[in-house]
């Protein structure tokens, strides 16, 4: 059956646009609503309880927009809040960890995989477990994890490939280089924005895994299996941020391209009461 309701996508800020871009490329006929919680970012330095509460509020905002699916376009929120959302959400919820982990295992040739993410994602151990589970068949699989918290600020600032970004990347990526990883999972949706500088440091032969493409594949599969594909007439792209819309659009525009985002509105989601949803 045709279902013209939009797909809801949220992130702590602009990082989720790396996922939105792939969803638009894979399913251009689907309407989308994007919420970036820039006013409360970063999530990656917060406690698990706070990440869960924020994510439930983001979900409630998107549900109020009558979405047909919710994509958690944030690894930190996926690792900490996916279970909480899945239990209470009445539409399908897509997370970003498993698609990224699977893609990394498929990409590696030498069985040495690096994972870079926020501190909250690395400390949860969820990503490393997922890579180890998918890579169980790889003899001598090595996984090297590194938290790169400053990458989020660099991405939000639009400092994607300058000298500050380069020196920061040299420092954070040293253990991965030393271990000789041939694949690096960008396990934070902000990091694909820094892919050029990460590649400059790691070298051209090291594969960078951006889970956005794999996530878009999962979204398409669900649209088909649930029979909720749009008819593609009157496609809308709506953007919301909990901080300054002008700033949001300035940083996002060069990345999303083709006149997007436009008409971004500011919205606060702290008033959504999630106490009844926390079990
Ligand atoms: N985009 C988020 C992620 O994928 C991280 C940014 C943040 O720390 O809020 O983990």
pLDDT in tens, 106-134: 999 999 999 999 999 999 999 999 999 99
Residue 165 lies inside a defined structural domain of this protein: yes
Kindly report whether the global pTM for this prediction surpasses the value 0.75: yes
With b for 16 or more beta-carbon neighbours within 10 A and e for fewer, the 182-215 pattern comes to bbbbbbbbbbbbbbebbbebbeeebbbbbbbbbb
Q: How far is the CA of 157 from the centre of ligand 1 (A)?
A: 14
pLDDT given at position 102? 95
Judge if 157 and 232 occupy the same domain: no
Residue 2 lies inside a defined structural domain of this protein: no
pLDDT given at position 59? 98
pLDDT given at position 171? 98
pLDDT in tens, 37-62: 999 999 989 999 999 999 999 999 99
Task: Give the closest residue to 199 by CA, choosing from 118, 120, 114.
Answer: 114
The torsion angles phi and psi of 126, rounded to 5 degrees, stand at: -65, -40
Q: Which residue minimizes the CA distance to atom 2 of ligand 1?
A: 74
User: Residues 6 or more apart from 79 whose CB is under 8 A from it?
Assistant: 97, 120, 121, 124, 126, 127
Answer whether 152 contacts ligand 1 (Cβ < 6 A).
yes
Judge if 154 and 130 occupy the same domain: yes
- Domain containing 43 equals 7-95+213-277
Judge if 77 and 110 occupy the same domain: no
Specify burial of residue 98 (Cβ count, 10 A radius: 0-12, 13-18, 19+).
Answer: buried
In this model, does residue 279 exceed pLDDT 80? no
Mean pLDDT value across residues 219-247: 96
- Averaged pLDDT of the chain: 94
Which of 211, 240, 259 is the last residue before a domain boundary? 211
Which of 159, 189, 211 is the last residue before a domain boundary? 211
Q: Band the pLDDT of 201: cuts 50, 70, 90.
A: very high
Answer whether 11 contacts ligand 1 (Cβ < 6 A).
yes
pLDDT given at position 258? 76
89 catalytic, yes or no? no
Cα–Cα distance for residue pair 60/99, rounded to 1 Å: 24
Task: Give the closest residue to 193 by CA, choosing from 245, 259, 251.
Answer: 251
């Amino acid at each position: 059956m045709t279902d013209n309701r939009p797909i809801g996508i949220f992130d702590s800020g602009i990082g989720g646009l790396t996922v939105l871009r792939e969803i638009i490329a894979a399913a251009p006929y689907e309407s989308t609503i994007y919420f970036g919680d820039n006013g409360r970012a970063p999530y990656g330095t917060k406690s698990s309880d706070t990440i869960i509460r924020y994510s439930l509020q983001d979900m409630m905002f998107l549900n109020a927009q009558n979405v047909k699916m919710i994509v958690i376009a944030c690894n930190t929120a996926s690792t900490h809040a996916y279970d909480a959302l899945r239990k209470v959400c009445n539409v399908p919820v897509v997370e970003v960890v498993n698609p990224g982990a699977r893609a990394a295992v498929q990409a590696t040739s030498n069985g040495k995989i690096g994972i870079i993410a926020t501190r909250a994602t690395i400390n949860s151990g969820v990503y490393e477990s997922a890579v180890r589970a998918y890579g169980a068949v790889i003899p001598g699989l090595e996984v090297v994890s590194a938290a790169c918290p400053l990458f989020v600020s660099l991405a939000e600032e639009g400092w994607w490939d300058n000298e500050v970004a380069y020196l920061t990347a040299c420092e954070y990526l040293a253990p991965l280089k030393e271990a000789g990883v041939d694949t690096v999972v960008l396990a934070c949706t902000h990091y694909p924005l820094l892919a050029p500088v990460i590649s400059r440091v790691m070298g051209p032969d090291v594969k960078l895994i951006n889970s956005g493409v794999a996530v878009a594949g999962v979204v398409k599969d669900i649209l088909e299996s649930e029979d909720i594909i749009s008819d593609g007439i009157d496609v809308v792209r709506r953007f919301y941020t909990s901080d300054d819309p002008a700033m949001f659009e300035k940083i996002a525009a060069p990345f999303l391209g083709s006149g997007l985002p436009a008409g971004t509105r500011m919205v606060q989601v702290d008033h959504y009461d999630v106490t009844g949803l926390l079990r």
